[in-house]
């Protein structure tokens, strides 16, 4: 499972807020909702967030093995 817990920690330690992400950086409110609920994001969105925060992917998302992951065929 992909979790965006690192994103929330990165956001908290920055000068940004969900409001500024929406108003100043054109991140949609639906993207914020996806981050809150650990829903899939595009790599383009992850790239945009890394650019905004000048950070690495690991500061946005983390993979945690889960029994709910898709099975390999």
The pLDDT tens digits along the chain (73 residues) read 899 999 999 999 999 999 999 999 999 999 999 999 999 999 999 999 999 999 999 999 999 988 777 766 6
Look up the pTM and report it: 0.88
Looking at residue 36, what is its pLDDT? 97
DSSP label at 33?
A: H
Residue 42 tokens, joined = 């595009």
pLDDT given for residue 31 in this prediction: 98
Q: Are 7 and 35 in contact (CB under 8 A)?
A: yes
In what helix (H) or strand (E) does residue 68 lie, and over which residues does it extend?
none
- The domains of the chain are located at 2-63
Predicted local confidence at residue 68, as pLDDT: 74
What angle is formed at CA 12 by the lines to CA 9 and CA 14, rounded to 5 degrees?
110
Q: What is the CA radius of gyration of the chain?
A: 13
């Amino acid at each position: 499972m992909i979790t965006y817990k690192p994103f929330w920690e990165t956001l908290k330690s920055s000068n940004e807020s969900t409001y500024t992400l929406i108003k100043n950086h054109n991140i949609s409110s639906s993207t914020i909702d996806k981050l809150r609920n650990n829903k899939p994001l595009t790599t383009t969105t992850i790239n945009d967030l890394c650019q905004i925060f000048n950070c690495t992917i690991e500061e946005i998302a983390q993979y945690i093995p889960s029994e709910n992951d898709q099975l390999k065929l």
